[in-house]
Structure 1
Amino acid sequence: MDVVHSHASNNVTDGLNGFDVGQGTQDSYFHNGERGYHKLWDSRLFNYANWEVLRFLLSNLRWWLDEFNFDGFRFDGVTSMLYHHHGINMVFTGNYTEYFSEATDVDAVVYMMLANHLVHNLLPDATVIAEDVSGMPALCRPDYEGGVGFDYRLAMAIPDRWIDFLKNKMDSEWSMKEIVWSLTNRRYSEKCVAYAESHDQVI
């Protein structure tokens, strides 16, 4: 199941935005000020350091597992969660300073570790997939190895390459080198999901 814990609706009528859980603030679940808004998505950003946020999001995962017997999740917008800059206008080159710096949202990383730990403890055979374009190291390594705990990363460059070839190149112009590179470009010992398209490509 696609689960969106990276942001929430800006709506105050039927969403969490402005909901007060007794903390004397209208930002019980979200960061205050600009840090609490995703400008490109026009949505609110969770404050993963807040215990109420952790309770809410983790119980959401458990509810889907217990009540509907889902066997896994695809976490949407993981790149936005991993970094304070949300990956906006970033070109990730693989330099480790891009991943391990003040730009990393440590609270969000800890939340994802907790989420993966919870899901795998409740359902050991569950599959949890991260939608990440940054290539964050150890994203798909177990938490006991110091990883974030996802089972798979979406190989998001593959559908982009596929659509580029279909739209812009004749069959005779397709480069096998580029195709093989797209299919095999991954971090050592991390599993990826290769796919041709998703809702991101059809929007």
Structure 2
Amino acid sequence: MTGFEVLRVFCGPNGSHGNALGVVRDGAAVPGRADRQRVARELGFSETVFVDDPERGEIDIYTPSVRLPFAGHPCVGAAWLLGVDRLVTAAGEVAVRREGGLIRIEARPEWAPGRTLRPYGSAAEVEALEVPPPGEWVYAWAWQDEAAGTVRARAFPGRGDGIDEDEATGAAALLLAAHLGRALTITQGRGSRLLAGPRPGGLVEVGGRVVRDPRPDQPAGGVGSA
């Protein structure tokens, strides 16, 4: 029986909200891509991580419908859980650092999956948006306070796989920080908090707070389970 853990990544300052992440620590128990895709689909999280080597930080990332070479919230969550100073993804090595109870990762913007960054005139406009029909992956954002670098955002994957709105999206935050060329504090979804900003060498950092979800460990997606 293969179990999984659930983390909430990019929580608010008091540990609330955050995007749920499924983590299968024993990746060897689900070795094939087709089986991993099936497990990710059955679990239904926006992303599920399979840990292939916990000491090296080697991970494999899936949405319910596709495999991703890199994604922000899975990397931040996996780094917190494994306690490593780097991760190895299909896109490349991801540096990790810890500061004040936060986990931060560095990655290249070109690793991030395609996102449409759609600006709005006010935070109220972003908050009033309805979920669009399936189509392009949209990251809707507006300045809350441009001088302070605070942003209100919502994310609509548009994949038609049951994830209508993503609570906290590290890759999109990374792309927005790269696009604007400055440090940002982003409030996304119901109240998740993401920090992002440029780093030397063309890298961008994204980070936040991670907590373990209190729900008990469960068998993963029917792998060896009833």
TM-score category by the smaller chain? Answer: under 0.3
Which structure shows the bigger proportion of residues in helix conformation?
1
Give TM-score scaled by structure 2 length: 0.25
How high is the TM-score relative to the length of structure 1?
Answer: 0.27
In our comparison, the structure showing a higher alpha carbon Rg is: 1
Q: Which has the higher strand share?
A: 2
